[in-house]
Structure 1
Amino acid sequence: MWRLSRLLLLLFLVRDCSTSTWQNPNRPFMSLDPNVHYNLSTFTAPDAIQNLASKKGPLLFIATTNHLYVLSASDLHVLQDLITGPTNSSECDLCSKCDMGSARPAQAEDTDSKVLVLDPVEDLLYSCGSSLRGVCFLHEFDNYEILYSSFLFRAASNSPSLCPDCIASPLGTVVTPHVHLRSVLFYVASTVDSNVAGSYGTTSVSIRRMLTSQDGFAADFHSLTVLPLYMNTYPIHYVYTFSTDKYVFFLTVQPESGHSKNYHSRLVRLSATEQEMKR
């Protein structure tokens, strides 16, 4: 009888708990005290921020038109302001490093930031802009500043028909750097049209291998590009990229078909363990 009574009591408690409604306890919302003056760190850019890069450390990199800023991550204080354009400006110290020979555009260009990524291993920053045929700069930095910048272009190794060092498209580019077998690979996806894909043009999707000399990219890279017939009528916009140990992904916005006015998103996946675009 005692066991039966205990069982009935247990069933009653279970039934009572199952039918009750749990409610979130009322907790007062803690807002900022209006009587206290808060000094919050801020940074106001002169133009729209086009790219930023950071990792665990004291520095934050921000790019706008013709500027690359190095900020203290703790208080957003500007430590450096590197001038990246216009390309004919006497204030652009980086532009003086650009030995491109006949490949250098004759007309002065503003530099919009298209790529700003950090090396996955070393304290290196890669910046690629809309000017100078999308060629990139490599920046070495420590905990306080950018120490040295180099131009990743070898005039003798690039031509109008094949330019391994032409990375960024003025229409938009996303890049994921990835280390494979001690080599730094650039997984590059760019929006292109007939003008971009012309002389010294970049490709739609490619895997570029950084040379061990760190002055450019190997010429034997694999790539895919939209067929010339559809290049101006079938735009593929690459809006984001990310990676795992085995794969690199690109998120796109593109027409549903070659003749459709409706757009949708697709996810492109490449192997992160192969330098050839086999799958």
Structure 2
Amino acid sequence: MSITLTDVTCIVVTISTLWWDANGQCKEPRETSKLNLSVTYNLPHFVLDAPVQKLLVFNGSVYVGITNKLVALSGDLKKIQEYKTGPVHEGPQCNACEGCRDRPPNANNTSMALLMETYYDPELFSCGTAGNGVCSRHLLEDGELGVDVNCMGSHNNDGSRYIAGPAGTQIVNVEVGGVVRFFVANSEPLNSSLPSSPRLHHTISIRKMWETQDRFEFVSEHSYMDLAPGLRGNYPLHYVYSFQSGAYVYFLTVQREGGTSKAFHTRIVRTCSSDLELLHYVEMPFECIYSEKGRRKRSTQMVFNILQAAHVAKAGSDLRRDMDLKEDDDVLFAAFARSRPDSPEPTASSTVCVISVAKINSFFKDFIQKGHTKPLYHFTGSEEKPYNQTSFGCGKHEKGYRLEVTRTRPPEDWFNGRFRNVLLTSIAVVPIHDHTVATLGTADGRVIQ
């Protein structure tokens, strides 16, 4: 979208591609308008002494994970508190939670996951690379981090303490029947030169807290899936985003198109939030397309295959009208890039696609019913099991299935090619009054709203 400072009412750009003139009337942007990246903004800011690795906003406070620190900020980005998470001494004889306190530090603690849980108490979970990915639970009081902190260790050797993998982690926490379940997905390196994730970390797993809330345990003996033998370290798999909507938990991944393919694409993964053993698991290709009409009105289609960032939010009334959505519908906003050939590396060419979660579910149902599926290539225990082709819910009587959908119906670029020369790296969406406002971040440090 074109962003100028000729009128202050033109700064906010909405997802519906409408902007305001001086009379408060909505106008369609000119077809010839181009993205203006020369605008500067005077925004509240706080300077950290290391790159931001994880960020979470809760009750007006901002929590930032960086190497060896967890920082709490106020809504106007003033420091509330700083909590030290490292460096630590790592070694085979060291305790996962305490390390080796009597020895000098030899390892930094990189922040891998931040998540908030409020069902039991307002508690922040911070997971890092120290202790092979062990997490700490911060019981929040007035936003403070260090009042009551527990390391989520384990009294057994089942691996339930090892949460965050070194290549990246996505976690979704869901309350089901009075129990909070943590769906954890650990990436395998996209860069083959990086070390593979240790086998301590399952690729996908489901955990819950022990009754004393000081450790994790698996929800069942088989509440995890791993990459098939031989693929660990040889099958790049990057979990980019995760969310819960309705009866399902979703993960968005970047991975190879198939077992022998060198090309990469994005997939959306869905499993039941009530599932104890990931028996209702399905993956579907998920990409974004842009159709450019030439002088002779012939359409040239460009595929944007590599997801960079995503956000699930409600839509404002403007977007609900455009997309025929219900007021409580969850909507997925996804920023994609075109990749280099046979590589997950993005190019400076992006797009934004918008699709309701209800529409995604209808695609899953439609393609499965029509038989456009095959067994998963990359996960153990992924043989195609018999299933009822008329029902794919999460009820107790639903038969299990672990499938890969072979067809897709990609949504189209919502901004009509306006980011073809920009690499988008982040997206956040919020409804404001009647509008749906997106804040986009670029690879060169720009913020587009």
**TM-score bracket relative to the smaller structure:** 0.7 to 0.9
- Name the amino acid aligned to 1:259: T
Cα separation, 2, equivalents of 1:184 and 1:244: 15
Cα separation, 2, equivalents of 1:259 and 1:249: 26
What percentage of aligned pairs have identical amino acids?
A: 31
Q: Does 1:142 align with 2:144?
A: no
Relative to structure 1, the CA distance from residue 230 to residue 96 in structure 2 (aligned partners, 3 Å threshold; closer, same or farther) is: closer
* Counterpart in the other structure of 2:164: 168
Q: How far is 1:171 from its partner? A: 0.4
* Counterpart in the other structure of 1:188: 184
**Structure 2: 5+ residue runs without aligned partners?**
1-18, 25-40, 190-194, 281-449
* Counterpart in the other structure of 1:87: 88
Whether the 8 Å contact between 2:188 and 2:235 is mirrored in structure 1 is: no
Cα separation, 1, equivalents of 2:246 and 2:253: 21
1:1-279 paired onto structure 2 within 5 Å:
27=22, 40-55=43-58, 57-73=59-75, 75-88=76-89, 98-99=97-98, 108-121=106-119, 122-146=121-145, 147-154=147-154, 156-158=155-157, 162-192=158-188, 195-198=196-199, 201-219=200-218, 220-221=220-221, 222-279=223-280
Cα separation, 1, equivalents of 2:160 and 2:104: 21
Q: How far is 1:195 from its partner? A: 4.5
Cα separation, 2, equivalents of 1:204 and 1:240: 15
Relative to structure 1, the CA distance from residue 76 to residue 96 in structure 2 (aligned partners, 3 Å threshold; closer, same or farther) is: farther
Q: How far is 1:100 from its partner? A: 6.4
Cα separation, 2, equivalents of 1:228 and 1:106: 37
Cα separation, 1, equivalents of 2:47 and 2:129: 23
* CA-to-aligned-CA distance 1:197-237 (integer Å, 9 cap, x gap): 33xx1111111111121111124351111112111211110
Relative to structure 1, the CA distance from residue 168 to residue 97 in structure 2 (aligned partners, 3 Å threshold; closer, same or farther) is: closer
SS of equivalent residue, structure 2 residue 275:
coil
Cα separation, 1, equivalents of 2:46 and 2:81: 13
* CA-to-aligned-CA distance 1:130-157 (integer Å, 9 cap, x gap): 1211000000112241221110002x31
Cα separation, 2, equivalents of 1:130 and 1:96: 14
Cα separation, 1, equivalents of 2:133 and 2:20: 57
* Counterpart in the other structure of 1:7: none
Q: TM-score, normalised by structure 1?
A: 0.75
SS of equivalent residue, structure 1 residue 157:
coil
Cα separation, 1, equivalents of 2:278 and 2:260: 27
SS of equivalent residue, structure 2 residue 50:
coil
**Structure 1: 5+ residue runs without aligned partners?**
1-23, 30-37, 90-94
- Name the amino acid aligned to 1:153: G
* Counterpart in the other structure of 2:340: none
Q: How far is 1:119 from its partner? A: 0.4
Cα separation, 2, equivalents of 1:58 and 1:107: 34
Q: How far is 1:245 from its partner? A: 2.5
* Counterpart in the other structure of 2:429: none
Relative to structure 1, the CA distance from residue 39 to residue 205 in structure 2 (aligned partners, 3 Å threshold; closer, same or farther) is: closer
SS of equivalent residue, structure 1 residue 229:
coil
Q: TM-score, normalised by structure 2?
A: 0.48
Cα separation, 2, equivalents of 1:25 and 1:41: 25
Whether the 8 Å contact between 1:53 and 1:116 is mirrored in structure 2 is: yes
SS of equivalent residue, structure 1 residue 234:
coil
Q: How far is 1:48 from its partner? A: 1.1
SS of equivalent residue, structure 1 residue 132:
helix
Q: How far is 1:192 from its partner? A: 3.5
Relative to structure 1, the CA distance from residue 190 to residue 39 in structure 2 (aligned partners, 3 Å threshold; closer, same or farther) is: closer
Length, aligned pairs only? 232
Whether the 8 Å contact between 1:233 and 1:258 is mirrored in structure 2 is: no
SS of equivalent residue, structure 1 residue 153:
coil
Relative to structure 1, the CA distance from residue 231 to residue 96 in structure 2 (aligned partners, 3 Å threshold; closer, same or farther) is: closer
Q: How far is 1:178 from its partner? A: 0.9
* Counterpart in the other structure of 2:342: none
> What is the root-mean-square deviation in Å for CA atoms of aligned residues?
2.9
Q: How far is 1:258 from its partner? A: 2.0
Q: Which moved more, 1:248-257 or 1:266-275?
A: 266-275
